[in-house]
Amino acid sequence: MSIIVHHLNNSRSQRVLWLLEELGVDYEIRHYQRDAVTNLAPPELKAVHPLGKSPLLEIDGRVIEESGAIVQVLCERYGNGKWLPRQGSDDALRHLELMHFAEGSAMTPILLQLYTSRLGEAAAPLQPRIAEQLAAHFGYMEQILRPSGHFVGDDWTGADVMLSFPAEIAVMQGQAGSLPKLSAFVAAVHARPAWQRAREKGGAYFNM
C-alpha cells in the first residue's frame, strides 16, 4: 500500500498529517511551497489535480480530493473502529453534520476575512458582517464542545481533526480568552504526540 500526502505549507493539509500519525499509517509527504509573493499554491499541484489545491491524498495511485473526504476515508480504512462513531447512532449523524460544517460553514468567514484583508481599508464596509460571522461560527464551536473536550461523543473523531483547523485560527486571532473551551481543545490537540510528530514533518505551519 502506498499513501502520499500532497502537502502545502501553512495549510489545511497539516491536519491530514496529524490524523495519519494518529492512525499509525505509513505515508510519504510531497512538499509544495506557497508562492512567496502571492501566497498561492504553486502550479506543480495542478499536475496532481486540476484545481491545484492541497490537501490531496494519493492511495495506491487514486488521488482523493477534499479534506472532508480524505479524513472520512482515512478514519474508515485505518481507524480500526476508532475515530468514527458507531454507524447508525445519533453521534454518527452529528459527525456527518460537523464533517460538512468544518469546510462548508466554519471556513467561509475565515476565507472572506483572508481575502478582503488584501484590500486594506477599502474592505471596511464588509468588516462588521465578517466579524459577526466569525464570532457566530467560533461561538457555535465553543458552545458545542462537549465536556469530554471533543466535538462528538467522548473520544477523538474525524470531526475533531476537521475542526482543529478553524479552531487553531480562532486561537491565532487572539480569541482564546473569550473561547476557553475551544482554546483548551487546541491545546489538547497540540499536546498529542501524533500532532507533534506531524508538526515536525509538515514544515512551516504558521507560528505553531
- Cα separation, 69 vs 57, in Å, equals 10
Whether 186 contacts 175, CB under 8 Å = no
72 lies in the binding site for its own copies (CB under 8 A): yes
Nearest approach, Cβ of residue 103 and its own copies (Å): 4
- Determine the Cα–Cα distance for residues 54 and 4; give it in Å rounded to an integer: 12
| Of 1 and 191, CB closest to its own copies | 1
For the chain, give the longest Cα–Cα distance.
Answer: 52
Q: What angle do CA 35, 196, 80 make, to 5 degrees?
A: 110
Contact 37, 95 (CB under 8 A): no
Asked if residue 111 binds its own copies (CB under 8 A), the reply is yes
The cell 465536556 sits on which residue?
147
Q: All 3 cell numbers of residue 100?
A: 460538512
143 touches its own copies (CB under 8 A): yes
Q: Is residue 105 close enough to count as binding its own copies by CB under 8 A?
A: yes
Cβ at position 50, least distance to its own copies in Å: 5
Q: Name which position in 4, 10, 42, 66 contacts its own copies (CB under 8 A).
A: 66
Contact between 73 and its own copies (CB under 8 A)?
yes
Beta strands at 62-65 and 3-8: parallel, antiparallel or unpaired: unpaired
Q: Does 107 bind its own copies (CB under 8 A)?
A: yes
- Tell me which residues touch its own copies (CB under 8 A): 50-53, 62, 64-69, 72-73, 90, 93, 96-97, 99-101, 103-105, 107-108, 111-112, 115-116, 118-119, 122-123, 125-126, 129-130, 136-137, 139-140, 143
